[in-house]
Structure 1
Amino acid sequence: MAKQFASQGDMTEKEISFTEVGEGLYAFTAEGDPNSGVIIGDDSVMIIEAQATPRLANKVIECVRSVTDKPISHVVLTHYHAVRVLGASAFGAQQIIMSEKARAMVAERGQEDWDSEFERFPRLFEGHESIPGLTYPTTTFNGRMSVYLGKRRVDIMQLGRAHTAGDAVIYVPDQNVMFTGDIVEYHSACYCGDGHFHDWPGTLERIRAFDLDAIAPGRGDALIGREMVNAAIDSTADFVRSTYRPAARVALRGGTLKEAWDAVRAECDPKFGDYAIYEHCLPFNVARAYDEALDIDTPRIWTAARDKEMWEALAD
């Protein structure tokens, strides 16, 4: 029997934290599991990231209700991945917002992503039977849009490709706080299986240019204060470059995927081996870096069958 993915054996319940990152702004974090964000406006609440199932989304709602009884009017999804979007129905929001590119990716590869993620990471799909189907937005945008929660303005922007081609960030100017989705992580591995290695560092620098007071990252603890913000941007950039360079060197000399895997491990294990979901992400990161080095610009669609085929090529 083939060796299972690292995440298939990860059944440990994570401790939830609900951290204020600005006035009326909160980060819902869970020890490296997918984060969500909360923006409280004058009359209603915006949620950032919906979790993988309605049951998990209800844990976010419980935290929201501990600080406000205002209705949830908007859900913003930074990208299309199943663990971020499939719990959206629980919030009962009037609007679900994605970039136009992210919506296209739901249509193109959303079901395949759901199927493959469900097999890779079963714990995150607790209560999966309550998912009504793929999550599509009610509202899309290109480049930038603003939502007004009463007087509070929320800017939703595409700053460049990184974790996916359709990534969005959410910026609250009155507090100088950003919700970055998986573009920025903290003591958690970046999942790069659908990423764009060449673009990612530049996108991080565009985030840095905001000179933010706090970030709610995609995974890991809330980043409060400019020192912590910049350290997380630096470590995310280091992770992306340290994954890409050794894999690219192997790919460009005609080496095998297994040789690229060994080269990436040699570079990344000493620096990132203790990061959350590191072992889970590694095979997908190596495969995507190998492809991008060979000028495959659009990430190939991951399916449950492709996952297994790739894992068999790497596991020995």
Structure 2
Amino acid sequence: MTAKAFASTGDLSEKRVSFTEIGPGLYAYTAEGDPNTGVIVGDDSCMVIDTQATPAMAEDVIARVRRVTDKPIKYVVLSHYHAVRVLGASAYNAQGILASRATYDLIVERGQQDKESEIGRFPRLFRGASSIPEGLTWPTLTFERSLSVFLGRREVRLMHLGAGHTAGDIVAWVPDAEVMFTGDLVEYHSACYCGDAHLRAWPRTLDAILGFDPKAIAPGRGDALQGRRPVREAVAMTRDFVTSLYGAAELSVARGRSLKETFAAVREAMDPKFGAFAIYEHCLPFNVSRAFDEASGIDHPVIWTAQRDREMWAALQG
């Protein structure tokens, strides 16, 4: 019997793009559960947060930015290292590419493997892959905990609040508008991809986000959210997703169950609440694998490769 392909390889449907102003000069480029991009317009220049997966796809972001401002895009921010977020960076011709030091280290450790794995398992998100320059996307400036960048008088505070979706996630906080761009630390009606996550640490990082009491956020996936109640709902839904995943896996591991048995246990716990979320099926095998590992004492996520993807998928079906 031929093994089923990953759900993501068969996802070919185009998504409707929205470009929403969530604060003065602050925009969220969203696409029905596909990766979001944030745009911050300052007095003299702009910043883009997460670039899209290819330069060809980034051109649509740039076109929408040009409808609202002619100010140059001076900075590109990488909220984390995943290829689907960073490989479009060259399209912006930015003066600086900013990321946390932990993200830089993860690119060194696993950037090439991640690029090959992601392109192989979700081809639709890499339209125009031939436009990606040779090699990897490298930050030109990194920081440990926080960095303030000024777009004229407008401050953007980049902060590593803790591990979660990866070890190096950062958020972008715009104090004058009380708006935050969270990257994949927060999702809205979209599954969290947890294949490289630190699941026990993630809820503490969400607490840190709530400490800013944002008026609006651009999450990593899903609609932009305006108003404190929708923001808190998105954070609560993300917390529920992460804790439900880890809790079910932890209990299964404690009972001595296999990865395949843990996959079934997680499905039983999560399908009723999250089965309709965007990319839920795409993420679930990777999410369960990481939760199984972390509950088994593997604190540092194992590197995903195209070969490991296939081996994991075979183990879950065998």
TM-score range, shorter chain: over 0.9
* Offset at residue 296 of structure 1 (A): 0.6
Is it true that 1:70 corresponds to 2:94 in the alignment? no
For structure 2, which runs of at least 5 residues remain unmatched after alignment? Answer: none
Question: 1:252 deviation in Å?
Answer: 2.1
Cα distance, 1:251 vs structure 2? 1.3
- Between the aligned partners of 1:308 and 1:243, the Cα distance in structure 2 is 22
Q: What's the secondary structure of 2:47's corresponding residue?
A: strand
Given candidates 188, 191, 195, the residue that maps to 1:189 is: 191
Paired position in structure 2 for 1:203: 205
For 2:95, the equivalent position in structure 1 comes to: 94
Match status 1:24 vs 2:45: no
Confirm whether residue 114 of structure 1 aligns to residue 81 of structure 2. Answer: no
Letter in 2 for 1:107: V
CA drift of 1:249 comes to: 1.1
Alignment partners' CA distance in 1, 2:88 and 2:306: 21
Number of aligned pairs? 316
Correspondence list, 1:39-58, <5 A: 39-58=40-59
In the TM superposition, what are the counterparts of 1:156-305 in structure 2 within 5 Å?
Answer: 156-305=158-307
The 3-state SS of whatever aligns with 1:178 is: strand
Normalised to the residue count of structure 1, the TM-score between the two structures is: 0.99
Paired amino acid for 1:103: Y
TM-fit CA distance, 1:152 = 0.2
1:162 partner amino acid: G
- 1:216-238: per-residue Cα shift (whole Å, max 9, x none)? 00000001100100000000000
**Offset from partner CA, 1:172-228 (integer Å, 9 cap, x none):** 000000000000000000000000110001100110111110000000000110010
Partner amino acid, structure 2, of 1:69 = D
Partners in 2 of 1:191 and 1:280 — Cα distance? Answer: 9
Q: Which residue of 1 aligns with 2:157?
A: 155
SS of alignment partner, residue 182 of structure 1 = strand
Name the CA distance, whole Å, in 1 between partners of 2:165 and 2:191: 12
Percent same amino acid at aligned positions? 63
**Match of residue 11 from structure 1:** 12
C-alpha separation between the residues in 1 aligned to 2:218 and 2:98? 18
- 1:2 equivalenced with 2:31 (yes/no): no
Instruction: Summarize the alignment of residues 108-147 of structure 1 with structure 2, pairs less than 5 Å apart.
Output: 108-132=109-133, 133-147=135-149
Distance 1:246 1:259 in 2: 11
Task: Give 1:41 shift.
Answer: 0.6
* C-alpha distance in structure 2 between counterparts of 1:55 and 1:293, whole Å: 40
**1:278-308 CA distance string (max 9 Å, x none):** 0000000000000001111100000000000
- Distance of 2:103 and 2:255 partners within structure 1: 34
Q: Tell me which amino acid in the other structure corresponds to 1:152.
A: R
Q: Which residue matches 1:81?
A: 82
Distance 1:166 1:228 in 2: 26
Please give the per-residue CA displacement for 1:84-129, whole angstroms capped at 9, x wherever unaligned. 0000000000000010110111111001001010111000111111
Q: What CA RMSD, in Å, does the superposition of the two structures yield over aligned residues?
A: 0.6
Cα offset, 1:253, TM superposition: 2.3
Gapped regions of structure 1 (runs ≥ 5):
none
Pairwise CA distance, 1:68? 0.5
CA distance in 2 between partners of 1:294 and 1:271 (Å): 25
CA separation in 2, counterparts of 1:304 and 1:36? 26
Secondary structure (helix, strand or coil) at the match of 2:27 reads strand
Structure 1 runs (4+) deviating above 2 angstroms are none
What is the TM-score when the length of structure 2 is the normalising length?
0.99
- Inter-partner Cα distance in structure 1 for 2:277 and 2:271: 10
